Structure 1
Amino acid sequence: MERLIKVLSNEDISLKYKNTPIEKLLKYHNLGESFDEYEKAELLIGMCMDNRKQLKIPNNFSYIIRSGGGNLRYSEFKVSYAIAVGGVKAIALTGHNNCGMVNLMSKKNKFIKGLVENAGWEEKQAEDHFRNFAPMFEIDNEIDFLLSEAKRLKEKYPKILVAPLFYNVDDNLLYLINED
């Protein structure tokens, strides 16, 4: 957690995010700033599908793509759409602590058993499904993944501001990640 910067005041927001949709997101969610009205999205938020996270943001403020671990590698067309057609100029890449995609391989048996019992799959079918897809979605460490994914997105979309953010499910706050 030493790489995280808790945002509890305007002064905690890094200068590179001042006067950007990232600053607005942090102010809305962490600082309780009153919502402005939006006609169109200013931001794309990529965040984990985890049900413990709910952002405090106004309607029409952002596009949101939810995927395991906040992994946008397999949602690039949607990211490109938000930029090209939606006109967003910033991406908030948001991961969180205690993510189920960390050490996914340790959940193999539970995953297979769950598909067999809950979805009616055959065990071999469930095992093949896990074997084929788990390596695409497993992450080693939430913060390291966010930093590497942010770097990848910055290289792919050089004119877009990409901010790796961390959602702490224990206090429901967004944290900046020290990228140095």
Structure 2
Amino acid sequence: MAQLVKINTREDILPQYLNTPIGDLIEYHNFNKHFFETDKKYEHAEILIGMCMDNRKRLNIPEKFAYVLRTGAGNLRASEFKVSYAIAVGGVRAIALIGHNNCGMANLKAKEEKFIAGLVDVGWDRKAAEDHFNHFAPMYEIGNELDFVLTEAKRIRARYPKVLVAPMMYKLEDNRLYLLTED
């Protein structure tokens, strides 16, 4: 079962992430670590952040610090070439997978009619809209947000074993990052 780790102080950051780009991400976002005139200037990205395309989230990070891939639920399965590029060419050695609560990609079946009706409203044929949903929804359905992020982190770790991968959650109600652990 997934557990959220609340990060209120630097000491709350799990040891494997301290003094890494993952720890820096948490410090920039949760603690408003200063990154303007006096702090480090980044010449290249140090981390890849995979996060949801949801417009309710915004990270507080410095310029040039990260590659950011925003997809439904932060699902990187269809973006693997981009992940490989960031690692192989961009040189990143850390990935933050950031899910969030109340994600629209969770329980897609319950949104089927709204999805189809929305496409019909903008000119789609109803049958084409139904086929579109039925074809793609299974690829993008994530189930439980916490479990999805942990599973995706495990998949990415297996694919890139020398890259540090941190499963995280963004809570919409407090706009803070949390680490995820498994019992």
Cα 1:126–1:2 change in 2 (3 A) is closer
Specify the alignment match of 1:153 in structure 2.
156
Give 4+ residue runs of structure 1 displaced > 6 Å after superposition.
Answer: none
- Tell me how far apart the structure 2 counterparts of residues 178 and 113 of structure 1 sit (CA, whole Å): 38
Q: Does 1:24 align with 2:24?
A: yes
Specify the alignment match of 2:44 in structure 1.
40
Q: How many aligned positions are there?
A: 179
CA drift at 1:2 = 7.6
In structure 1, the residue corresponding to 2:182 is in which secondary structure?
coil
- Aligned 1:71-86 pairs, distance under 5 A: 71-86=75-90
Q: 1:112 aligns with which of 112, 116, 123?
A: 116
Specify the alignment match of 2:175 in structure 1.
172
CA deviation vs aligned residue, 1:116-168 (integer Å, no higher than 9, x gap): 11x31111111111000000000110010000000000000000000000000
Contact 2:2 2:182 in 1 (8 A): no
CA drift at 1:37 = 1.6
Structure 2: stretches of 5+ with no match in the other structure: none
Contact 2:93 2:164 in 1 (8 A): yes
- Tell me how far apart the structure 1 counterparts of residues 87 and 71 of structure 2 sit (CA, whole Å): 18
Contact 2:2 2:180 in 1 (8 A): no
In structure 2, the residue corresponding to 1:178 is in which secondary structure?
strand
- Tell me how far apart the structure 2 counterparts of residues 3 and 64 of structure 1 sit (CA, whole Å): 25
Specify the alignment match of 1:124 in structure 2.
127
- Aligned 1:55-66 pairs, distance under 5 A: 55-66=59-70
In structure 1, the residue corresponding to 2:31 is in which secondary structure?
coil
- Tell me how far apart the structure 2 counterparts of residues 40 and 178 of structure 1 sit (CA, whole Å): 29
Structure 1: stretches of 5+ with no match in the other structure: none
CA drift at 1:179 = 2.8
CA RMSD of aligned residues (A): 1.2
Paired letter, 2:140: F
- Tell me how far apart the structure 1 counterparts of residues 145 and 105 of structure 2 sit (CA, whole Å): 9
Q: Does 1:98 align with 2:141?
A: no
